[in-house]
Amino acid sequence: MVLDELEKRNKFFTNIYQKGILLYSSDAIQPTDVHILDSATSSFLIDTNHLDHRLSLIEGFLSGARECLSNLKYNACLFMLHQVVEQCCLTLIRAHLGYRSDIHNLRRLLQLCCCFSAEPIKVFLSGTREDDRLFNILLKSYSKTRYCDEFLASKDYVHLLYQRIERFLALTKSMCNGR
């Protein structure tokens, strides 16, 4: 599977193969028979297309959240905001690590982003109780808005999260364009 991914020029596996250090080999043989062609141009086009696609999706979710917010649909707004953060994290991870994550938990995604920058997680978790409370609302919103009829999102919290997530999107764009 790894050799297949290297042949397809998978960015994640290529980076590991070229820059990683072999820690263990069951037969103590160094793999040297794989030749990876440098395809910076094709990689750049693939990354740019992926970024454009993801940013369009993210903008759509944010636009939906804005519409829900203006129509006082706070639960739906929270659901859309959760999607914005998830997609931003997935985009950051893909741009910086070349890895296609299938994780959906926002805390885990933000922790994975810490592999290349502490900035994304700081937008949500700077150590204050209010940050923790807001982030926990965002975490719970995904399932609560879908499956819990009694869940009612607070207007104030939704507005605060909306502003914070707009900041997170701006950071995402900046970090991805820098790559």
Domains of the chain: residue spans and CATH = 1-38 (no CATH), 50-178 (1.20.120.330)
DSSP 149: T
Rounded Cα distance between 84 and 99, Å, is 19
Residue-wise pLDDT tens digits, 70-127: 999 999 999 999 999 999 999 999 988 888 888 999 999 999 999 999 999 999 998 8
- With vertex at residue 158, the alpha carbon angle to CA 156 and CA 159, rounded to the nearest 5 degrees, is 65
pLDDT at 134: 92
Mean pLDDT computed over 143-156: 78
When the pLDDT of each residue in the chain is averaged and rounded to a whole number, the result is: 84
pLDDT at 91: 94
Mean pLDDT computed over 148-156: 79
CA 13 to chain centre: 19
Mean pLDDT computed over 45-67: 88
